[in-house]
Amino acid sequence: MIDNPDNDNIAEGPMVFIIIGKGYEQKGGQGIELHIMLQAPDDDSAVREALNALSEEGFLEADLDQIGVLTDIPTEEPHASAYQGTLEGEVAIIRFD
């Protein structure tokens, strides 16, 4: 678990990032809207881990549009269960087909 971020921010809990973008399973295919949630020490590491997880899931390309740190625990699905997975060290990929 990550307790100390690599920057000057002091985190009270784990740093859980959410990355919003599109993933492409076929070259020239239609993109799939994605939210990716994961723990990381900084945004560069979060992007790297997200891209690795997308590659493992069969995505050939990705356009990552936004990144941020969750400041509140999500209460609505599918983000609530994805958040719990990130606390266990998983990279959660939420697809909006």
Q: What is the pLDDT of residues 37-92, one digit of tens each?
A: 999 999 999 999 999 999 999 999 999 999 999 999 999 999 999 999 999 999 99
In a domain, 7, yes or no: no
Is 9 part of any domain?
no
b (16+ CB within 10 A) / e for 23-36: bbeeeeeeebebbb
Domain presence at residue 47? yes
Determine, yes or no, domain membership for 11.
Answer: no
Backbone angles phi, psi at 91, to 5 degrees: -100, 115
What does the block give as tokens for 46? 């979060």
Total domain count, the chain:
1
Q: Which domain holds residue 63?
A: 16-96
CA atoms of 51 and 10, how far apart (whole Å): 26
In a domain, 65, yes or no: yes
pTM score, whole prediction: 0.84
Q: Of all residues in the chain, what percent are helix, strand and coil, respectively (each to 5)?
A: 25, 30, 45
5 domain-assigned: no
Residue 8 lies in a domain: no
Would you say residue 44 lies in a domain?
yes
